[in-house]
Amino acid sequence: MSFQRLQNGHVRDSLGGKIDEYLDHRELPMYKDKPYNYSASSKTKPIYKRWRTIAGIALATVTLLYWLGSSNSTDSKPHAKPNKSGSWGWSNKKLGIDWNSRREEVKETFVYSWNGYEQYAWGFDQYRPLSKDGAQMNEQGKGLGWIIVDALDTMMIMNLTSQLSHAREWISTSLNYDQDYEVNTFETTIRMMGGLLSAHYLSNSFTDLANVKDDDKGAPGEDLYLEKATDLADRLMGAFDSPSGVPFASVNLQTSLGKGSHVDDGASSTAEASSLQLEFKYLAYLTGEKNYWEKAERVMEVIDDNGRQDGLLPIFIYPTTGTFMGENIRLGSRGDSYYEYLIKQYLQTEAEEPLYENMWSESLAGIRKHLITYSNTSHLTVLAERPSNLEGAISPKMDHLVCFMPGTIALATTGGVTVNEAKAAGKWNEQQESELRLARELTKTCYGMYKVMATGLAPEIAHFALSEPPHMESDGILESAELTDDPEAEWRKDYEIHHQDNHNLQRPETIETLFYMYRITGDEMYREWGWEIFQNFLKYSKADDNAGYTSLAHANEIPPIEKDNMESFWLAETLKYFYLLFSPPDFLPLTSVVFNTEAHIFPRFKLARGLQTGWERTPRDAQGVMQKAFKKSKTLIVQKPLQHETAPSSLPDEQKAGEGHVGLSG
Ligand code: DMJ
């Protein structure tokens, strides 16, 4: 067996950093070489594992002493610890609002949802809280852990140790990815691989939260999450074996053969192909396996070499050629997380890969130039679509999915510190001011998507009344009207909610944005908006008999029509972001972590151990036109023999938001 160092991703505070440094000098086996069901009992446990446990206990003890020593202050502390009653002793005394108890309500809602699933559908990939039953995605096979794995890290940050133990035991004894089943490459990466990697990170860095009890007899080994993630990643890697390097939409978990989409002429969604990088790059960092890194970043190079105008991409890309299909440009379904992962790749590696920041800036400028417009009378800011190229007409439509973007813009303006901190450090200018203003206005538009509905829960898609011709940002920034409670208020008329778009799928994007907006600006208004939305979920989507919470088929009438499905991202994302929104702002500081597009939590890390950016952007001229003659590449990509099957074609190139993968709301 060959040996190499384990590259653990721990928090970057000084204490964690020292432990990191210590752990990084332990010699560890390559995870790839380990048998699938490897687990370490305390008797056979190698010395490095005992050192890690000792180091973990030392870290926990020192951190606890530090916190206890400061506990006479009402302020929250970095990585603050709960008191004996499990609460965090923190509230907003200024406004008389007890955010601590609001946060506890989120935790109770999670437990209510989890208990329903545990009681009625344990081990199933899908859960119907009204029918009180479950279903597997692979009807011939076993569960893929869809709900359990996606919820792991939420349970960790909520300190739900008994629920976590049950989940961990199921993962150890029942989760087997060796199934002859074709999964969606993206969804499996962001939810399953992302969930396992986040669980690995949190359980190694916050040992008090994720009570693993590795020394208990018969307990699963402490590397369980990482081993499962690595096993899964190796199965998913076949998706990248396309002629271009752009991943196929699907991959067979047993054979690792990639397969083009059954629809869309075999093209992959652009967002899906370009939102695997945080996961595979973090795994490369943890294991030292460069292959994960290279396959994932190659996709970025192929995409960028299309030289698209102003960094705005069509929503489908062919894995065969690496070129785009169609000219539909939007930040909703199939386009969204491409933009998200540009700035997050830059943040993940501590600003050491500036080309991703460069790509993000180019795209954001393109969005402002071509997609930002204003509603007719109330001047709400709209991030619209261009369904037939940038020269074609604007479509005044926003998927709820677009609502991740205001928060991501705010995150990008400061990199994770607060605006006040950025200003104090002299790192604030007019450009950032205007981007933050845009983020604020878009957040308001997303909040209005909730407020305009009878239940106060957003539709899947909203359309907007625009002026003719549409007023663009370059025509002058417009001030939006107040979103008053008056049921007859003018602003409501600017939202057009089509009957077929009335459904609410418990989506997280607006809550995610409120979380970032609160963290970056410190403005309590965003927490208040979140609290209002949270209460509407409690009121209108709760299933009876302790069965959990359900999606709604129609959210614009009272009582709403229920849909009988509890999405895994309700547990993984929506409730997590509510919980974090009501948490002390320095709990899981944005400067230490980066959230993947499924809200799974990864550490930031510096480029090291042979990992580096393997490509350079082909230069653009002053007009942004790519100068092909100057193409440079640092990466030598050796294509493996083609291993994919050709997909049948061809169905319509248009998909509605929320459609997509069998049994999934993407
Ligand atoms: C999640 O699976 C992820 O956030 C993804 O990026 C978009 N869709 C859902 C939630 O709406």
Ligand 1 in contact with 146 (CB < 6 A)?
Answer: no
Residue 661 lies in a domain: no
DSSP 624: S
Q: Which two tokens stand for residue 6?
A: 């384990």
- Alpha helix (H) ranges present in 89-207? 99-121, 146-157, 161-174, 185-187, 194-205
Q: Tell if the pTM clears 0.75, that is, is over it.
A: yes
Q: Which two tokens stand for residue 253?
A: 């978990």
pLDDT single digits (tens) 377-429? 999 999 999 999 999 999 999 999 999 999 999 999 999 999 999 999 999 99
Residue 611 lies in a domain: yes
Closest residue to atom 6 of ligand 1, CA basis: 597
Stretch 540-546: mean pLDDT: 96
Angle at the Cα of 389 from the Cα atoms of 384 and 392, rounded to 5 degrees = 75
Predicted confidence at residue 634, as pLDDT, reads 56
Angle at the Cα of 55 from the Cα atoms of 50 and 60, rounded to 5 degrees = 125
Residue 370 lies in a domain: yes
Stretch 436-459: mean pLDDT: 98
Predicted confidence at residue 272, as pLDDT, reads 98
Residue 630 lies in a domain: yes
Closest residue to atom 9 of ligand 1, CA basis: 666
Residue 361 lies in a domain: yes
**Cβ(268)–Cβ(248) under 8 Å?**
yes
Predicted confidence at residue 633, as pLDDT, reads 58
- Which residue in the list 118, 289, 460, 567 is annotated as catalytic? 460
Residue 347 lies in a domain: yes
Predicted confidence at residue 511, as pLDDT, reads 99
* Residue 540: pLDDT over 50: yes
Query: Cα–Cα distance between 432 and 436 in angstroms, integer?
Result: 6
Query: Cα–Cα distance between 422 and 146 in angstroms, integer?
Result: 39
Identify the CATH number of the domain in which residue 602 sits.
1.50.10.10
Range of the domain at 348: 6-40+75-656
pLDDT single digits (tens) 96-130? 899 999 999 999 999 999 999 999 999 999 999 99
* Residue 85: pLDDT over 70: no
Predicted confidence at residue 632, as pLDDT, reads 62
Stretch 552-573: mean pLDDT: 98
E-strand ranges in 369-525 read 372-374, 381-383, 397-399, 461-464, 495-496
**Residue found under tokens 């130039």:** 369
CA of 597 to the centre of ligand 1 (A): 6
Candidate from 16-30, 52-66, 139-153, 252-266 with smallest mean pLDDT? 16-30
Predicted confidence at residue 534, as pLDDT, reads 99
Mean pLDDT value across the chain: 84
Closest residue to atom 1 of ligand 1, CA basis: 598
Note if 654 is an active site residue. Answer: no
Residue 1 lies in a domain: no
Ligand 1 in contact with 660 (CB < 6 A)?
Answer: no
Predicted confidence at residue 652, as pLDDT, reads 29
Predicted confidence at residue 628, as pLDDT, reads 78
* Residue 441: pLDDT over 50: yes
Stretch 256-260: mean pLDDT: 98
Q: How many folded domains does the chain comprise? A: 1
Ligand 1 in contact with 480 (CB < 6 A)?
Answer: no
- Phi/psi for 180 (5° steps) reads -80, 80
Query: Cα–Cα distance between 145 and 133 in angstroms, integer?
Result: 16
pLDDT single digits (tens) 7-22? 333 322 322 232 233 2
- Phi/psi for 253 (5° steps) reads -65, -30
Look at 88 and 230; give whichever has higher pLDDT: 230
Predicted confidence at residue 297, as pLDDT, reads 98
Stretch 144-154: mean pLDDT: 97
Report which of 299, 244, 297, 305 is spatially closest to residue 626, judged by C-alpha positions.
305
In the chain, % of residues over pLDDT 90: 76
Residue 52 lies in a domain: no
* Band of pLDDT at residue 200, cut at 50, 70 and 90: very high
* Band of pLDDT at residue 218, cut at 50, 70 and 90: low
Closest residue to atom 10 of ligand 1, CA basis: 507
* Band of pLDDT at residue 475, cut at 50, 70 and 90: very high
pLDDT single digits (tens) 67-79? 333 332 322 322 3
Q: Which two tokens stand for residue 320?
A: 């065969």
Ligand 1 in contact with 91 (CB < 6 A)?
Answer: no
